[in-house]
Structure 1
Amino acid sequence: MIGIVGAGAFGTALAVALARGGREVRLWARDPAQVRAMQDTRRNEAALPGVDLPGAVSVHQEIAEVVGGQALLLAVPMQALGALLDQWPQIDARQPLVACCKGVDLTTLRGPVAVIEGRRSGAQAAILTGPSFAADIAKGLPTALTLAATDGAATDGVALQELLSTPTLRLYRTGDVIGAELGGALKNVVAIAAGTVIGAGLGDSARAALMTRGYAEMVRLATALGARAETLAGLSGFGDLVLTCTSSQSRNFRFGHALGRAEGFDPRVTVEGVATARAVVALAQGLGIDMPVTAMVDALASGRTSLKDAIGQLMSRPLKQE
């Protein structure tokens, strides 16, 4: 049995994919009304409309009913992960704990695996990340992801890779947790910037330049923290960056697009890149690392600068060698 905590779009899509791959899946949702609706209709219309839950997926309100299996996937927003672990002591180290979120914790300035390990001593922690839209996974479209667990850790990455792979969901394994975490976190920040460029009508050439310079920032910060540059060139970095910077399915891109058009954005939609930008600015300042794109996104999202001023600041930076 595989447990999944969090019945949003991504958690539900993973449940569907794994069940189709022959796994028994128990899915936990916080809202009792949502649990009842999913049990009755066998759908999660609010998060993933039009997708039927396979018979191997059961939906639960009690978190004790989804723990203790072969693995527990934590499909909650990054900024909610620590609070979830604090609230539910039933989530323990009896099984591998796999983070399915992207970002940097605002309180600790650490990634999902470090947050899990900090709250569960001896945890078998890992992260599942990479270029993926929930709708594609749920439809059974071919998707490849990165599964990262620290080399030499208690987590058996090979066994997890086999457990969570299906005919349509292909997992690649890495021991570079920091690289995988930061690739998934920072690409959301760059996606906001890319959406802003397109929303403001600055064109595809500007987006390409922005993506390239944003990728340079991703590599710069990640390697300073001990990541391998080649990890950022893989699925969890470059692959995810391309996907989220070029598709309106990305919430971060859509948020940036609204910023560029000076339009409002639905506050109920989780936009991980906003909090990540704020956390990364603090992290980079502490390390003395220059991250102008990230700083621009943070200033724009918080309303501390205008789009015109942000563009002017980026374009007037000193000329230098690439």
Structure 2
Amino acid sequence: MDIIQSIAVYGAGSWGTALALQLARNQIAVQLWDISPEHIQVLQTEKENKRYLPTIPLPSYLTPNADLAKVAKSSHYHLIVVPSHGMRSLLQRLKPLLTDQDAIIWATKGIELDTGKLLHEVVIEELPFCQHYAVVSGPTFAAEVASGLPTAMTVAANSQVLAKTIAKAFSANNYRVYTSTDVIGVELGGAIKNVLAIAAGISDGLGYGANARAAIITRGLAEIKRLSEVLGAQPETLMGLAGLGDLVLTCTDNQSRNRRLGLALGQGKDLETAIAEIGQAVEGAKSAHSIGLLAERAGVEMPICQQVYRILYQGLAPADAVKALITRDLKAEF
């Protein structure tokens, strides 16, 4: 792989736009596509994403474009930043436009809803000719990246060469990128932490305090590690930016949509109302189901994630979920 001079970015929400901004500021030609042509037209007219990242102008290297074919043909590098439930359908649309020379990168943090498959598995299924793929993840809020605040993240690829190539594209004085080849570990860390952030938000919404939040983060990390190790991830990945770093960020700061959803549920709001008030996709709400499928297949116990699923989809009262966790049989921590 060579130096990235151009890249196609799919998904013009807050996170997709933020990553596009970072790349464009590094003088990489970015073509930014979205499933909504109307949204792209607004970006073209207003020269900023007022809906998600107001007051941050789009640099000259960033071009919003509603023509999927033209965007796909603009580069051999493709960064997908759509919700996990839209990943497969986008890949199906891209398939006739790509070749085995193209690299597929995704910043989506989720697991496929109906199948419980990791997103690299979806990529391999839909693009069997794909030889180069990677995932970017870590403790990164879109607004802070878009504002140019100091940030660190991880890129995991199926080759160290590709990981280094992508890292160089994002890196700047404000942005540090670490490389990895542990795609599974980075994917799982980014997906499961969303469900745990809902749990932390529920606990805080109930007024249970800092002790309970710390317990959720710590025992939640144990759940991530158990599942990840069974599925072949490297344990050290889960102690890094894409694991512990992202978990702490998402569970403790109200910029997190997943945490805000949990807060609303803990304060007595129903799921539909809470998501409507947030106004953007909340990946953890869908991942709670797919992680359950994955854990069941792997034979791994994930009690916090299970209780979040029961609250979201089985009508369990948040306080009863906490009681169920606390009154489980006593056991050794390790």
Q: TM-score range by the shorter chain?
A: over 0.9
1:50 maps to 55
Query: 1:89, CA displacement in angstroms?
Result: 3.0
When residues 135 and 90 of structure 1 are mapped into structure 2, their CA distance, relative to the original with a 3 A threshold, is: farther
* Residue of structure 2 aligned with 1:119, choices 123, 126, 137: 126
- Work out the CA distance in 2 between the residues paired with 1:208 and 1:251: 19
- Work out the CA distance in 2 between the residues paired with 1:246 and 1:259: 16
1:265 maps to 274
2:165 is equivalent to residue 159 of structure 1: yes
* Residue of structure 2 aligned with 1:5, choices 1, 5, 10: 10
Superposed counterparts of 1:165-184, under 5 Å: 165-184=171-190
What residue ranges of structure 1 are gaps of 5+ in the alignment?
none
2:331 is equivalent to residue 320 of structure 1: yes
Does the CA contact (< 8 Å) of 1:85 and 1:91 recur in 2?
no
2:286 is equivalent to residue 275 of structure 1: yes
Superposed counterparts of 1:1-322, under 5 Å: 1-68=6-73, 69-93=75-99, 94-123=101-130, 124-151=132-159, 156-263=162-269, 264-267=273-276, 268-322=279-333
- Work out the CA distance in 2 between the residues paired with 1:212 and 1:174: 24
- Work out the CA distance in 1 between the residues paired with 2:299 and 2:111: 18
- Give CA deviations for 1:224-267 in whole Å, capped at 9, x if unaligned: 10001100000000000010000000000000000100123133
- Work out the CA distance in 1 between the residues paired with 2:76 and 2:93: 22
TM-score for the superposition, normalised by structure 2: 0.92
- Work out the CA distance in 1 between the residues paired with 2:122 and 2:175: 26
Does the CA contact (< 8 Å) of 1:151 and 1:176 recur in 2?
no
Q: Specify the code of the residue in structure 2 equivalent to 1:265.
A: A
Moved more, 272-281 or 259-268: 259-268
What is the aligned length? 320
Query: 1:151, CA displacement in angstroms?
Result: 4.4
Does the CA contact (< 8 Å) of 1:117 and 1:125 recur in 2?
no
- Work out the CA distance in 1 between the residues paired with 2:10 and 2:143: 18
Percent of residue pairs bearing the same amino acid type? 39
Query: 1:122, CA displacement in angstroms?
Result: 2.7
- Work out the CA distance in 2 between the residues paired with 1:118 and 1:89: 11
What residue ranges of structure 2 are gaps of 5+ in the alignment?
1-5
Query: 1:274, CA displacement in angstroms?
Result: 1.5
| Local SS of the residue matching 1:51 | coil
- Work out the CA distance in 1 between the residues paired with 2:297 and 2:81: 30
- Give CA deviations for 1:82-121 in whole Å, capped at 9, x if unaligned: 1111233345244211011001112331222221111101
- Work out the CA distance in 1 between the residues paired with 2:51 and 2:197: 24
